[in-house]
Amino acid sequence: MTVQTLHDFDHWNHAVQAVCGRFVTQRAWHSDAFVGDIQHRDVGGLNFADISTNAIAISRERGNPARADDRYYFLVMQRQGVMAINHGIQQFVLQPGDIALLDSVQAFEMRPQGLIKQLSIHLCRDAVDRLLPASARRFGKLEQESPTGRLLRGMLQQIATGDMSPAADSQHGAALQDALIALLQPSLNDEQLPEVGRPLRRLAEKLINESLPEAPTPTELAARLNVSVRKLYRQFEIDGDSICRYIQRQRLERSARELEDTSGNALPITTIAYKWGFTDSAHFSRVFKQHYGLSPKTYRAEALRGQARSAASGR
């Protein structure tokens, strides 16, 4: 995958809207470091999209089920990276292997935490509404430890690896869609919904961010919040996240912002790594590339090229 220019970002937006409908993308922290790729596949009339991006946010406004691009539910499986999804007061996080059902009519926002890869399957709204009870949830993260959840995950993994023949006819496509929908209902577990607002997690995040680069330990953080360590862990685990992963993401984001500094006072990459708590420069480079899709050196080089282009266009 290559670093994309403004023209490519516009192409990404057009491609996403052509395949998935009315989504609006906000670019990565540095516009010249945007990564985005979407590949469309069709198996017997059932549409799939393989998506890779490091955008800050991808949002969708409330729609109309009668409109063409709102006639679907998106069954998504996270393949790489972490992505937060905000849907009104409902918030959840997708880790690699997690599955969620998203309603194209509902307004929601997806926030990739660095570079992510995702499989999205477009399920016909009429078929979903016909097979699922009216009382069944149609938006949220799926529980996967049940027998039906494991079957659903196995089917999606086969689709993601390209094991489904593109030569399948419409009968096979419809049967595959019905099988996926049938496995949804037992996995849409209302008990998996997080607490409304999540004030304890938000307060924990605030304390962590205020303490960086010297982040508190979970024990210290729990003591400051006057809760048990187990309760604090649970605030992150309910989203499939952890305190350590959250702290690392914040350190990476701050490192990225410093790498965007193209002034004469810009710090060396190794110094930035140490400043934000990475004691091993090789480890920093590895996790930075996993998160942003670019090495720290390439990320900084793109920032320099972007500054040069801006200066040239301003003459």
Q: How many domains does the chain have?
A: 2
Q: Is residue 74 part of a domain?
A: yes
The domain boundary, picked from 177, 192, 207, lies at 192
**110 and 226 inside one domain:** no
- Looking at residue 129, its pLDDT comes to 83
User: Are residue 117 and residue 10 in the same domain, yes or no?
Assistant: yes
Question: Is the domain of 265 the same as that of 187?
Answer: no
Q: Is the pLDDT at 76 greater than 60, yes or no?
A: yes
Domain-embedded: residue 255:
yes
Of 7 and 271, the one with more pLDDT: 271
Residue 148 lies in a domain: yes
- Least confident among 22-31, 93-102, 117-126, 211-220: 22-31
Please check whether residue 18 lies inside any domain of the structure: yes
209-220 residue pLDDT tens: 889 888 899 999
81 and 114 housed in the same domain: yes
Percent of the chain clearing pLDDT 70 (strictly above): 85
Domain end call among 134, 166, 192: 192
181 and 211, same structural domain?
A: no
Q: Are residues 164 and 252 in the same domain?
A: no
CATH number of the domain to which 129 belongs: 2.60.120.10
Task: Let me know whether 59 and 74 are in one domain.
Answer: yes
157 and 287 part of one domain = no
Q: 225 and 182 in one domain?
A: no
Q: How confident is the model at residue 179, as a pLDDT?
A: 92
pLDDT of residue 104: 87
**Whether 186 and 212 share a structural domain:** no
| Higher pLDDT, residue 99 or 163 | 99
Q: Please write the tens of the pLDDT for every residue from 227-275.
A: 889 989 988 887 778 899 889 988 988 898 888 877 778 899 999 999 9
Is residue 104 a part of any domain in this protein?
Answer: yes
Evaluate whether residue 216 is within a structural domain.
Answer: yes
Per-residue pLDDT tens for 225-234? 888 899 899 8
Q: Whose CA is closest to 73, among 142, 36, 111, 20?
A: 20
Identify the band that residue 190 occupies on the pLDDT scale cut at 50, 70 and 90.
Answer: very low
Find the CATH number of the domain harbouring 224: 1.10.10.60
Q: Would 144 be classed as within a structural domain?
A: yes
Residues 188 and 263 in one domain: no
Q: Is 173 among the domain residues?
A: yes
Instruction: Show the domain range for 261.
Output: 199-313
Out of 192, 209, 237, a domain closes at: 192
Evaluate if residue 281 carries a pLDDT over 70: yes
Give residue 4's pLDDT: 42
Residues 38 and 177 reside in one and the same domain? yes
